[in-house]
Copies of this chain bind each other. A is one copy, B any other.
């Protein structure tokens, strides 16, 4: 149902399509656990185009493609002022499109992935376009929630941290809204999710969205606490970023005030916003969540690449 489709924004999908991805992801997870060898992508090539540094997204897409029996070519070109003189992004995309069957692109400019999708004949997956979207991370998060909690519908999900700059939040919030979860937003003043997004979540999906600056009230009734790091690279004042990070640090003590069944999620890398003692508690689910990176991306690849 997704063959040939670009994966640019979570909003491009309806509920049925997302469920198809999550179902396929669970299939892939079984295959990985049983260490079965796949050849679905034999002879096919994924092109990783990274114009911003990435470890997790890049490596897990590579791993996913290899697990499916396919190969990977990589272009890592960190944007510098001198790039302005170089080849246009559209020319680069046109070329790479000829060399591969699928493009994964991360780029600091918003809507770069959409532009790439307009130029390429093969499917394009948005691996993060500035502060805009990161749809496959949202799929990983939705997959994790459904696995850990058995469902997504009607769960109380608290999104906490720098909600302004975290692109994964925008993608995830829409994904949660599609499944009618209740969303609570907790962020330092000035780092709130933009109003436009909040309004859309309420009006288009008819879900409850609460906002607060108080961590405790955000944790109290949550089934899922989703923590974001301060995106220091998008801040102008590094000291300010550091202070906010300390104020919103998640500790075991804080988590004890929530539900017994509360789970803590994080797209990683975490860099101090979660006390490392949390890693050992029953709440911590972020490493298992990270492990879903490969089967979910295997699912996405195998659904969109044309045979």
Chain A residues within CB distance 8 Å of chain B: 35-38, 42-43, 45, 47, 55-56, 59-60, 62-63, 66-67, 69, 71, 73, 75, 77, 85-88, 91-92, 94-96, 98-100, 232, 268-271, 276, 287, 290-291, 293-294, 307
Q: Shortest distance in angstroms between A93's beta carbon and chain B's nearest beta carbon?
A: 11
Q: With both chains docked as a complex, state the minimum distance between the C-beta of A152 and any C-beta of chain B, in angstroms.
A: 23
Contact A73 B62 (CB under 8 A): yes
Interface residue from B63, B100, B268 paired with A45 (Cβ < 8 Å)? B63
Q: Are B73 and A271 interface neighbours, CB within 8 A?
A: no
How many angstroms between the C-alpha atoms of A71 and B47 in the bound complex? 15
The 4 lowest CB-CB distance pairs between A and B, nearest first, are A87-B269, A37-B43, A66-B71, A63-B99
6 more A-B residue pairs beyond the given contacts A63-B73, A94-B290, with a C-beta to C-beta distance below 8 A: A59-B73, A66-B71, A85-B271, A92-B269, A98-B290, A98-B293
> A68 CA to B269 CA in the complex, in Å?
32
Q: Least Cβ distance of A230 to chain B in Å?
A: 11
Residues of B within 8 A of A71 (CB): 66, 71
Beta-carbon contact of A87 and B293 below 8 Å: no
Give the CA-CA distance A96 to B160 in the complex, in Å.
26
In contact, B100 and A268 (Cβ under 8 angstroms): no
The count of identical subunits is 3
A217 and B103 alpha carbons, distance in the complex (Å):
42
Tell whether, in the assembled complex, residue A43 and residue B59 are in contact, meaning their CB atoms are under 8 Å apart: no
Q: Please state if B87 and A270 are interface contacts (CB–CB under 8 Å).
A: yes
Known: A59-B73, A75-B59. A268 touches B66 (CB 8 A): no
Tell me the minimal C-beta distance from A272 to chain B in angstroms. Answer: 9
- A69's closest neighbor in chain B, by CB? B43
User: Which single member of B91, B232, B287 contacts A268 (CB below 8 Å)?
Assistant: B91
Q: Which residues of B contact A75 (CB under 8 A)?
A: 55, 59
Residue of B at shortest CB range from A43? B37
Question: Given A69-B43, A98-B291, A99-B293, do A87 and B232 touch, yes or no (CB 8 Å)?
Answer: no
Q: How far is the CA of A202 from the CA of B73 in the complex (A)?
A: 42
